[in-house]
Structure 1
Amino acid sequence: MMGAMKSFPGPPVHWLFGHVLEFPQDGTDLDKTVTWTNQYPYAHPIWFGPFTVFLNINHPDYVKTLLTTA
């Protein structure tokens, strides 16, 4: 899984915590996600620890490709 996610650009990842420390539960979590979406407009991974990852897909062409090949 990690190898597949390396092909997507994204914010720097902590080796153990992933991006968990970027979301302090203080009401700014959505702002961080919007900032990353602006920086990486097609898709970017969000890691929750070393093994759990969500791929945020933002561009309609990427979504179309996934929906037509699945």
Structure 2
Amino acid sequence: MMSSTKGQVIKCKAAVAWEAGKPLVIEEVEVAPPQANEVRVKILFTALCHTDVYFWEAKGQTPMFPRIFGHEAGG
């Protein structure tokens, strides 16, 4: 099924981590159109796994924030 948003910037909600270990903030974010060899997938559900939590806590690593976690998705 083709989307009417092909080639367009879209807005969606995301749980954004602004600091290590701090609560995630639900925000509206803009997502750029995919570039060559990329796809954009509509995600209905996602969850944090132990890898997400590890990077969210940023223990023993260089913190990289803001950040959006949740690479294990369904929908």
Query: Which structure has the larger Rg?
Result: 2
The two structures have a TM-score, normalised by structure 1, of: 0.23
The two structures have a TM-score, normalised by structure 2, of: 0.23
Structure in which a larger fraction of residues adopt helix: 1
Structure in which a larger fraction of residues adopt strand: 2
Greater RCO, 1 or 2 (C-alpha within 8 Å, sep 6+): 2
